Amino acid sequence: MSSRQEILEKIQQLRLDQTELPTIPEFKNPINTEEEFKASIEANKGEVISQEKLMSWISESGFQKILNFSQLINLNTTYARIDDAHELDQLQVAIIDGQFGVGENGAIWITNEQVPFRAIPFITEHLVIVLPKNEIVPTMHQAYIKTSSQSYSFGLFIAGPSKTADIEQSLVIGAHGAKSLRVVLV
């Protein structure tokens, strides 16, 4: 008998005691999940704005390349549509929908249903996420329950603009993704 076979047989003969998973207590939900969500977004260096403020910001900024993938708001403007990910070059503003947000940390769940190209939330200079107010859950525990029933090929939580820091803790915004995050609650 080979040593490999001996090892495999010994592993199969092991009888380990089963350990029960710990029960997760039910956490108190905040009184106002929407307000907690807004505070979390702002703490993450993002901004919660109205649809009117979004329109004003876009028109005043003079952006040349804006992609709108949102199904939740009508911006009354025609923006570029793309069919090839290479056309994302120099993307200034991407507007996408979020499936749901998390009050305790400001994270917003995005899947391939909201973005046709995975690179969009990372390659754009400014990211705008449109989120229904009634789709904010209090905690990540509830968020993970919502994601577990979904089928998707790509999913992520976004909780603010890209942030990184060096060993001296010098914070840099936008080094690895969007320089800003604006959330429009509808």
Print the domain residue range for 27.
23-185
User: 161 in a domain, yes or no?
Assistant: yes
User: 1 in a domain, yes or no?
Assistant: no
How many angstroms from the chain centroid is the CA of residue 118? 12
Q: Which two tokens stand for residue 142?
A: 């509830």
CATH of the domain at 90: 3.40.50.10420
User: 8 in a domain, yes or no?
Assistant: no
User: 6 in a domain, yes or no?
Assistant: no
How far, CA to CA in Å, does 20 sit from each of 17, 23, 61, 148?
10, 9, 56, 21
How confident is the prediction along the chain (186 residues), in pLDDT tens digits per residue? 789 999 998 888 887 788 888 887 777 776 788 999 999 999 999 999 999 999 999 989 988 888 888 989 877 655 556 777 787 888 899 999 999 999 999 999 999 888 888 888 989 999 999 999 999 999 998 999 899 888 888 899 999 888 777 777 777 777 778 899 999 999
User: 14 in a domain, yes or no?
Assistant: no
> For the chain, how many structural domains are there in total?
1
User: 61 in a domain, yes or no?
Assistant: yes
The b/e string for 94-124 (b: 16+ C-beta within 10 A; e otherwise) is: bbbbbbbbbbbbbbbbbbeebbebeebbebb
User: 2 in a domain, yes or no?
Assistant: no
Query: What span, in angstroms and rounded, lies between the C-alpha atoms of 132 and 32?
Result: 15
User: 4 in a domain, yes or no?
Assistant: no
